[in-house]
Structure 1
Amino acid sequence: MKILIDARFTRLDHHDGISRYGASLIAATAKIADVSMLISDTRQLALLPNVPYTLINSPLSPAELFVAAKVNPLGADVVVCPMQTMGSWGRNYALVLTLHDLIYYEHPAPPGFLPAPVRVLWRLYHKAFWPQRVLLNRADVVATISSTTESLMAKYRLTKRPVRIVGNAPQPGLTPRDPGAGADKTLLYMGSFMPYKNVETMVRGMAELPDMTLHLLSRITPERRSELEALAPAGANIVFHNGVTDTEYEELLARTTALISLSKAEGYGLPLVEAMSHGTPVIASDIPIFREVGADAVSYVDPDSPAAFAAAVRELEAPEQWKDRSARAVRRAAEFSWDASAQRLLAAAEEAVALRARKHR
């Protein structure tokens, strides 16, 4: 079976969540199956594994409506897309589309990197569920990354197609830190600064943590930085990195007290799993997806309470409590792997091929 995976959502300079998800799945699946990929810019290859590829149009181009005409000659038995927007008109292959989450129905502000016309369509698209149903029902099988999203898809009847979970995982080869080495008085946040990420609560909570330094690692616009700086309590130690390399991120994870995520909505929460794989404790908002990912390894807090966030940090200052959370984190992270996700993807791809064959008998 020939599997073609759409890698056109890979970023050009650094991974975001979907970019890393796609690249990691390609690398893991290529070890057990005949895999090639689609790209839309050769610069994407720097962040992708060394597998055969075909260069075609951007997934944001109007030509996407007719992309099957370019994909059909490639001879794939099944095409897997890490998004749900891939064109499908006239295809002669099985198709697996992916829905990561339903965040943008509750928080409709689109990502800033999208072109202005696409941002307008984005908002319109998320005002009703029927456009999502139209997109997903074009597939033979729909993939998602968590049981939480799977349940929401069922609740809103988003697709008639089989839904299969192909989860996220930490990067392989990460070495857990030495719990006996302790931690420095820092806290890390890795993620965007969109409103639903709720960075405001942790910034306000720093009023009760004057001896701690909060490192905000991701890239941020000057306007958003100014908004958060205006909220910062007097004397709070907050560092805006405006982007870090993977190496810098791992070095910070290896000595910090905890990784923080007080988001009010998430599709998965990959930074949680990345931190846990290092043995770094996590403090997270008490929402269903974080409970699914973190189980008993994470300290859960009310995302609207700066005081609850600060109290959770103070609990980790006790050496035995920190060591316990670190050990739990490593055990929990070991339950996730890209190899296991690749096996699930392969099973979903085989199911899609079988369903399409049955439909066209």
Structure 2
Amino acid sequence: MRVLIDARFTRTDHHDGISRYGASLIEALAARAEVTMLVSDTRQLALLPDVPYRLINSPLSPAELFVARRLNGLRADAVFCPMQTMGSLGRRYPLVLTLHDLIYYQNRTPPGFLPLPVRLLWRLYHLAYWPQRLLLNRADVVVTISETTRSLMQRHRLTRRPIRIVGNAPQPGSAVRDPQAPVEKTLVYMGSFMPYKNVETVLAGMAGLPDYTLHLLSRITPQRKRELEDLVPAGARVVFHNGVSDDEYALMLRSATALVTLSRAEGYGLPVIEAMALGTPVIAADTPIFREVGGTAALYADPDSPEDFTRAVRTLDDPAGWKERSAAGLAQAATYSWDKSADSLLEALEEAAALHAASRNARTKRAQNR
């Protein structure tokens, strides 16, 4: 099967969630199909696997409205985009689009790296569901990354198209931590500092954990850092790293007591499964998506209760309890892999090709009967 995959959402310096999702699927699917990537900046190739590519316009360019005209000539059996915004005007190929989550309907602050005009459109777009329906219904098949998000999509009737699951997964090849090695009294947070991530409750919970150090690993703006620093309880130890490499991240996870997140909304929550894959326990907000991804392995806390978070951390003070959570996390992480996700994506692409052919044949018959 000849597949075009839109890799234009790949970052040029470091992966974010969508960037890693697309790159990982490309690498796994390339072992199963003839894959060509679409990129808009050759610097993206540094974070992408070594497969053939085509250089086309940016997905934020006005030319995106007509990108299908360029893709038609490439004669792919199917096209996959890890977002839902790909232009499709005049397309003559099967198309699979992706919706990761519905976070921004309740939290309308757009990602800061987007240009100002795009951020303004972003806010307007998320004021109602009908623009999302217009985008998704242009596809033959829609994929999302969790059962939780699929249920929300169905509840809000976001598309008439089949919705399939192509999940996230931990990166392969990472060395699992030694369960006999000393466990440092450190807590690790990996994620943005947008309001819905609820880092404030984690900070408040540190008031009851003076013997622990909380490491906030992600990049942060000076203004947001000052806001959060003002919330650090007296006596609490909190370190702002303002970005770490993948190797540094893995190294900190392998020695930490737990990865922590009290985010109120996620499409998947990739750091949860990344930590579990290394054998590091997880403390997460008690929400449907974290229950889905973390299963019975994670510890859960009320995202509105700093005290509940503190109690969850304290349960890991017991070495036997810590080892039990570590082993359970490894077992839970093993249920996810990019190979499984690539198999699911290939099935979705084949389904899209069949639906597209059936639709084309139906149109031909109607035209003949006129």
**TM-score interval, smaller chain:** over 0.9
Q: Deviations over 1:48-78 (max 9, x none)?
A: 0000000111101111101112211212111
1:353 aligned onto 2:359: no
Whole-Å Cα distance in 2 between the matches of residues 286 and 182 of structure 1? Answer: 28
Identify the residue that residue 45 of structure 2 maps to in structure 1: 45
| 1:271 match | 271
Answer yes or no: is the 8 Å Cα contact 1:182–1:319 preserved in 2.
no
The aligned residue for residue 155 of structure 1 is 155
Alpha-carbon shift at residue 211 of structure 1 (Å)? 1.0
2:78 alignment counterpart = 78
Alignment of 1:107-256 (within 5 A): 107-256=107-256
Q: Which residue number in structure 2 is paired with residue 308 of structure 1?
A: 308
1:187-210 CA distance string (max 9 Å, x none): 000000000000001111111111
TM-score with structure 1 length normalisation? 0.99
Q: Which residue of 1 aligns with 2:291?
A: 291
Segments of structure 1 that go 5 or more residues without pairing to the other structure are: none
Letter in 1 for 2:343: Q
Distance 1:292 1:243 in 2: 28
Give the Cα–Cα distance (whole angstroms) in 1 for the partners of residues 104 and 251 of structure 2.
Answer: 32
CA distance in 1 between counterparts of 2:248 and 2:13 reads 15
Runs of 4+ in 1 over 6 A off after TM superposition: none
Distance 1:298 1:273 in 2: 10
Give the drift of 1:212: 0.7
Specify the code of the residue in structure 1 equivalent to 2:218.
S
Q: Determine the C-alpha separation between the residues in 1 that align with 2:46 and 2:289.
A: 31
Q: CA deviation at 1:182?
A: 3.5
Q: What SS does the corresponding residue of 1:188 show, helix, strand or coil?
A: strand
Distance, in Å, in 2 between the alignment partners of 1:148 and 1:234 is 38
Distance 1:61 1:261 in 2: 35
> Aligned partners of 2:303 and 2:183: how far apart in 1?
24
Q: What is the letter of the counterpart of residue 43 of structure 1?
A: R
AA partner of residue 183 (structure 2): A
Aligned-partner Cα distance in 2 for 1:183–1:5: 42
Which residue does the alignment assign to 1:92?
92
Work out whether 1:69 is the aligned partner of 2:97.
no
Is the partner of 1:180 in helix, strand or coil?
A: coil
Q: Secondary structure at the residue paired with 1:297?
A: coil
Q: TM-score, normalised by structure 2?
A: 0.97
CA drift at 1:106: 0.8
Other structure's SS at 1:283 match:
strand
Report the Cα distance in structure 2 between the residues aligned to 1:180 and 1:245, rounded to whole angstroms: 26
Shift of 1:175: 2.2
Between the aligned partners of 1:182 and 1:146, the Cα distance in structure 2 is 34
1:19-41, CA deviations, whole angstroms, 9 ceiling, x for partnerless residues?
Answer: 00000000000011111110010
- 2-side partners of 1:29 and 1:14: how far apart? 22
1:9 equivalent to 2:40? Answer no
Question: Residue 2 of structure 1 contacts residue 35 of structure 1 at CA under 8 Å; is this kept in 2?
Answer: yes
CA RMSD of aligned residues (A): 0.6
- The one-letter code matched in structure 1 to 2:205 is G
SS in 2 for 1:54: strand
Please give the alpha-carbon distance, in whole angstroms, between the structure 1 residues aligned to 2:193 and 2:62: 29
Q: What amino acid does structure 2 have at the position aligned with 1:309?
A: F
Secondary structure class of the residue paired with 2:317? coil
SS of equivalent residue, structure 1 residue 96: strand
What secondary structure does 1:249 align onto? helix
Structure-2 separation of matches of 1:174 and 1:221? 30
Letter in 1 for 2:93: Y
1:221-262 Cα offsets, whole Å, 9 max, x none, are 000000000001112111110000000001001100000010
**Contact map agreement 1:188 1:260 (CA 8 A) in 2:** yes
CA contact (8 A) 1:37 1:51 kept: yes
Is the 1:144–1:167 Cα contact (8 Å) retained in structure 2? yes
Give the corresponding residue for 1:35.
35
Q: Deviations over 1:275-323 (max 9, x none)?
A: 0000000000000000000000000000111111111111101000000
CA distance in 1, matches of 2:352, 2:172: 28
> Take 1:235 and 1:332, find their aligned partners in 2: how far apart are those partners?
35
Work out whether residues 97 and 136 of structure 1, in 8 Å CA contact, stay in contact via their aligned partners in 2: yes
**Distance in 1, Cα, partners of 2:73 & 2:242:** 43
C-alpha separation between the residues in 2 aligned to 1:182 and 1:80? 45
Quick one: which amino acid aligns to residue 258 of structure 1? A
Q: Quick one: which amino acid aligns to residue 44 of structure 2?
A: Q
- 2-structure distance, mates of 1:282, 1:273: 9
